[in-house]
Amino acid sequence: MSAILTDGVIKVEGTCKACDHCTSVCPTGAITGLLGQKHKIEFKKCLNCGQCLINCPFGRIGEASMMDQVKTAMKDPNKYVVVQEAPAVRVALGEPFGMPVGTNVKGKMHAALRQLGFKQVYDTEFTADLTIMEEGTELINRVYNAVGAVKDEHAGPLPQFTSCCPAWIRYAEINYPKILPYLSSAKSPQQMFGAVAKTYAAQKLGVDPAKMYVVSVMPCTAKKYECERPEFISSGYKDVDAVITTRELADWIKESGIDFVNLKDEEADKLIGSSTGAATIFGVTGGVMEAALRTAYEILSGQTLPAVEFKSVRGRKPVREASVDIPIKALGGKPLTVNVAIVTGTKYAAPLIEDVLAGRSPYHFIEVMNCPGGCINGGGQPIRHDAY
Ligand code: SF4
Ligand code: SF4
Ligand code: SF4
């Protein structure tokens, strides 16, 4: 079994200064040690989210690296190495090169990835759209089943939880295994991309899928854990071979002597590279919910969803909710009020989960993302040293 699966991605390294700051950002209490004592991470409770890593003021928390594997694959003539990059990477990659926070460097990043030697450069947005379609369709089946419009014994229960954040999945597995049937069965965009690359794309490109090597650039350290999970080999090949973070890509570009700031913009490859605006909002909290809700609304009602107004629940900003009246076409236009919630920070999901398990949840659909504000502030993003 992979060391990442047995020991985790995140470790305290070097001399811990015992400032105790990391314990305040950890969503699970996985970090032990009092003020003045060396701190340790207990893998049994750790979500691999990297929030402690990006918030350690002394840089004493590190992550397992897959860079050596990626560089070895790039040199191997029997490997055809392709890369996907997630939407939150492009607005953070400019920072390590001195560009203003939030600069969109998508075109320069595509050019840099080609200079590093990737054979194909793709956006994860294409499979973010697939995730939205899968999660939206699954929600429709659950709603139809619940209101008796179409009986489907395989439809899961309501509310449906999103399933694209691997830290949230691990939180549910460790703390609330009974909630797992409520989670969408859809793979995350990262894993869908790997499966599509090794089936459809390999066939279209005439590449033996056994030779295709898929690298992800992610804003997320938990994605390294996700790609190693043994269930993600549905095509017969590991969906994603290796994950590197935004930080690691920046270091690699610098080491390679690429003049990133002056690169000319390039487009992503198009074979599996087209996408809608819905996929782009995946990187911020509420994005998955809004995109899937729009899909479900259009299919259930045959109409376009007007604006969704989200409001904070009882003043707790990490939880927001909205209600949408959907006229159900299959029930002659009879309206159904669909209640949705967005949770930022896994620890805030606990009361909602307990309501679901006690049968008193008012919601039909709940999005949970681990990191504050979503993947844009993920544990793989550049560290803001000016914050200290
Ligand atoms: S934040 Fe860093 S230095 Fe401070 S206790 Fe945690 S690991 Fe040690
Ligand atoms: S990676 Fe996340 S869950 Fe694990 S110790 Fe750090 S903050 Fe806690
Ligand atoms: S919110 Fe995004 S960056 Fe953070 S753990 Fe989840 S998938 Fe990773």
Structure-block tokens of residue 138 = 């699954």
Q: Same domain, yes or no, for 249 and 267?
A: yes
pLDDT on residue 316: 46
Q: Domain holding 36: CATH number?
A: 3.30.70.20
Q: Same domain, yes or no, for 23 and 151?
A: no
pLDDT on residue 314: 43
Distance 167 CA to ligand 2 centre (A): 9
Is 353 part of a structural domain of the chain? yes
Domain count, the chain: 3
Q: pLDDT confidence of 315, banded at 50, 70, 90?
A: very low
pLDDT on residue 352: 96
Q: Same domain, yes or no, for 196 and 260?
A: yes
Q: Which of 56, 63, 383, 388 for mutating ligand 1's site (highest number of atoms within 8 Å of CB)?
A: 56
Distance 27 CA to ligand 1 centre (A): 15
Domain end (from 230, 258, 276): 276
Q: What is the mean pLDDT of the chain?
A: 90
Is 163 part of a structural domain of the chain? yes
Q: Domain holding 115: CATH number?
A: 3.40.50.1780
Is 388 part of a structural domain of the chain? no
Domain that holds residue 100: 67-127+188-276
Helix, strand and coil in the chain, % to nearest 5: 40, 15, 45
Output 112 or 328, whichever has higher pLDDT: 112
pLDDT digits (tens, 9 = 90+) for 217-244: 999 999 999 999 999 998 899 999 999 9
Q: Same domain, yes or no, for 298 and 341?
A: yes
* CA neighbor of 70 nearest in space, from 224, 237, 189: 224
Is the distance from CB of 178 to CB of 357 less than 8 angstroms?
Answer: yes
Q: Same domain, yes or no, for 289 and 195?
A: no
Output 97 or 273, whichever has higher pLDDT: 97
CA 188/CA 64 separation, integer angstroms: 21
Q: Same domain, yes or no, for 226 and 296?
A: no
* pTM of structure: 0.93
pLDDT digits (tens, 9 = 90+) for 108-167: 999 999 999 999 999 988 888 888 888 888 988 898 888 777 777 788 899 999 999 999
Q: Same domain, yes or no, for 78 and 149?
A: no
- Residue 27 CB less than 6 A away from ligand 3: no
Domain end (from 226, 245, 276): 276
Q: Same domain, yes or no, for 175 and 309?
A: yes
Is 112 part of a structural domain of the chain? yes
Catalytic residue among 163, 184, 275, 301: 184
218 backbone dihedrals φ, ψ, rounded to 5°: -130, 155
